């Protein structure tokens, strides 16, 4: 890190501590040329993921919207609000790992479906039927047959 006083590029870290509940590390440094002490802060770069919709439009990834979609699919089903928020967190966590900046909406839909499939078959079919916009009745029936086969 360039010394703010003399411009030298080598320094020694003499102290590191977590601040803001661990979200940031503050490092105390000493310039190896002039002995000047200065501090740096280090934090995780949060990328605001953007969703690329089927029609090519972009919009920010919105956890509330994702939660609303899950709630709609799980309406009157034995799925708790805690389960919904856990799904939202794990989906967004995976998306942040897998994508740098832009997320195709299809990737989100597939993640939602794989979670609903484990939690509740009715919610899964509801979501899948809306999400996949079944082109014909047969496609929808195949989906349901797939569920029945597993029971």
Residue with Cβ nearer Zn ion (8 or 27): 8
For Zn ion, the closer CB: 30 or 147? 30
Minimum distance from residue 5 beta carbon to Zn ion (Å): 5
Minimum distance from residue 37 beta carbon to Zn ion (Å): 10
The Cα–Cα gap between 146 and 151 comes to 9
Least Å distance, CB 8 to Zn ion, is: 5
**For the stretch 121-149, what's the b/e string if a residue is b when 16 or more beta carbons lie within 10 angstroms of its beta carbon?**
bbbbbbbbeebeeeeeeeeeeebeeeeee
- Paired sense of beta strands 37-43 and 24-31, if any: antiparallel
Contact 74, 67 (CB under 8 A): no
Residue 6 or 47: which CB sits closer to Zn ion? Answer: 6
- Interaction site with Zn ion (CB under 5 A): 3, 5-6, 8, 31, 33-34, 36
Q: Least distance in Å: CB of 17 to Zn ion?
A: 22
Tokens of 43: 């934090």
């Amino acid at each position: 890190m360039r010394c703010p006083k003399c411009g030298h590029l080598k320094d020694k870290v003499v102290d590191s501590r977590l601040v803001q509940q661990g979200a940031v590390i503050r490092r105390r440094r000493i310039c190896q040329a002039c002995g000047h002490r200065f501090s740096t802060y280090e934090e995780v770069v949060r990328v605001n993921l953007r969703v690329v919709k089927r029609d090519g439009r972009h919009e920010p990834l919105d956890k509330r919207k994702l939660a609303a979609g899950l709630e709609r699919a799980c309406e009157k089903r034995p799925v708790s609000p805690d389960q919904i928020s856990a799904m939202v967190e794990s989906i967004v966590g995976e998306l942040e790992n897998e994508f740098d900046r832009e997320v195709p909406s299809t990737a989100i839909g597939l993640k939602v479906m794989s979670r609903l499939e484990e939690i509740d078959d009715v919610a899964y079919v509801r979501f899948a039927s809306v999400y996949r916009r079944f082109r014909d009745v047969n496609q929808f029936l195949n989906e349901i047959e797939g569920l029945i086969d597993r029971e």
